[in-house]
Amino acid sequence: MNFKGISFYLGLSCYPITFLSFFNILYSSYSDHYLNLDSYILTLFISFLIGIALYIFSKEGEKNIEFFEKLVLIFLVYLLVSLLISIPYYFSSYQFSFIDSLFEAMSGLTTTGFTVLYNVKFLDPTLIIWRSSSHWIGGFLFLIFLILIFSNFKKEYKLTHLIYNPDKSTNLFKDTKKIIIKVFFIYSFLTALIFIFFALSGIRLFNSFNLAMTISSTGAFLPTNELSEIIKYPSQKIILTIGLIFSALNVYFFYSLFGNNTIKKHYEDVLILLAVIFFSLLLFFLIQKISFLNILFAVASSLSNSGLATFAPPENFYLFFIFLTIIGGSIISNSSGIKILRLYILFKSTVLEIFKLVSPNTINDQRILKTEHKINNENLNSSFFIFICFFISVFILSSVLTAGGLNFEKSFKLSVLTITNTVNSSLFGLKDINFFNLLTSSKIFIILFMVIGKIELISLFLIIKKIFSRK
């Protein structure tokens, strides 16, 4: 195990928290909110010192790390960064326990949105910014993981090679800095665009900033208790809906709009847009007395794995919206779930097998979304294995939550939402869940599966397999 190589990249992950702490210190000083100032100063020094210490330790080490070491790195990044993010919660005046602080931090970092808080609107404004910013940092780190770590042609269970084709001159491992800057620019541009439109629509700047940080990462932390307290006009809801749809698309889709790449390569994004339209029209005819705009927002919120809600659907539609969260968005986006591309591969493979039985001599189109890639055993097995791992994760977590006191229905729904990193809301009939009163064991398992939901259970299997194979 290349510990020095892992330490080098782990140290780099500390600096976004250092910057965020510095920003909150400036905001606290500017707005005269000194209630939690000491905790941000403490976080700044701890994150900076840990980053420097890890850099010194790894300075003369080999920076290239293997695929399995990258998976270990991801778990360590989530653990370390969430611990750093939890410091202002733990040392705040709101009496967070250590587990609750870690729960809130991990929920932010994985862009899930679960919270142990009762009344968000009365929080210190700096802590509200800290919460929404943890979404943004988590979204950025995840995009980097997807491109630099999972774009590995030896282990393609993420299927990133199907929709991410870097220039021939680009090396994923040598051009790390170039790729990070490119992703940072695209991600920041999308966030700034959403913020500007929110501000122009009449939402106060503080709420616009926090909403932009949340929506761009498909998160669900709000600066108030209810979304209806911020979004009051149809124009604002339209902007919110478009922001969620954009966040569910391939991050390089926006680069293609201004670069040399053709938009025609983004067939997956076209499929997502068609899914949004199809399910919105379907639900509009099935659910009566709900406006099309509300239906459209609910579908976009579910498919992007945000979970924010503006209405409560009839009870018999709860599972339908949960199904939409399972579909997820693009492979290279902040959305979670099984992903629509994998479901497409499984569905098309099934149809092709049926055609082979009915008409063995027929030549069938095996291309994936009209691209040059064809369905092969590798990506078919990966899609099926992820499908199985998803339901194994749901079974394990729902069993733990049921043992912790929740009824089976709530345990099952909450398990699916945890693994798809989607907030509990009225869309799924889970708005009344009180995370503060959950057993500590249940909170620990939810924390674990929020991470697994981001990088998938198969990652953990691969690490365990590698450890035992070496022994």
Given a contact cutoff of 8 angstroms between Cβ atoms, the answer to whether 368 and 345 are in contact is yes
Q: What is the mean pLDDT of the chain?
A: 88
Work out the pLDDT band at 258, boundaries 50, 70, 90. low
Q: What is the pLDDT of residue 374?
A: 85
Instruction: Give the tokens for residue 53.
Output: 């210490």
Positive or negative torsion for Cα 441, 444, 448, 453: positive
Q: Give the number of other Cβ atoms within 10 Å of residue 8's Cβ.
A: 20
Phi, psi of 367 (to 5 degrees): -70, 150
- CB contact set of 390 (below 8 Å; sequence gap of 6+): 326, 338, 419, 456, 457
pLDDT beyond 80 at 408? yes
Length of the chain: 471
pLDDT of residue 107 exceeding 90, the answer is yes
Give residue 168's pLDDT.
Answer: 46
Beta bridge partners of 422: none
Tokens (6 digits) for 39: 């905790």
Residue 121 has what pLDDT? 81
Residues 6+ apart with CB under 8 A from 319: none
pLDDT computed for residue 67 by the predictor: 81
Which of 73-82, 321-330, 349-358 shows the lowest mean pLDDT across its residues?
A: 349-358
Q: Please give the structure tokens belonging to residue 352.
A: 């092709």
At residue 11, the pLDDT reads 92
Tens digit of pLDDT for each residue in 17-40? 999 999 999 999 888 888 889 999
Quick one: which of 66, 69, 87, 73 has its CA closest to 17? 87
What are phi and psi for residue 305, nearest 5 degrees? 65, 35
Report d(CA 173, CA 397) in Å as an integer: 35
- What is the predicted pLDDT for the residue at 151? 72
Q: In terms of pTM, does the model score above 0.85?
A: yes
Band the pLDDT of 169: cuts 50, 70, 90.
very low
Secondary element (H or E) of residue 194: helix 176-200
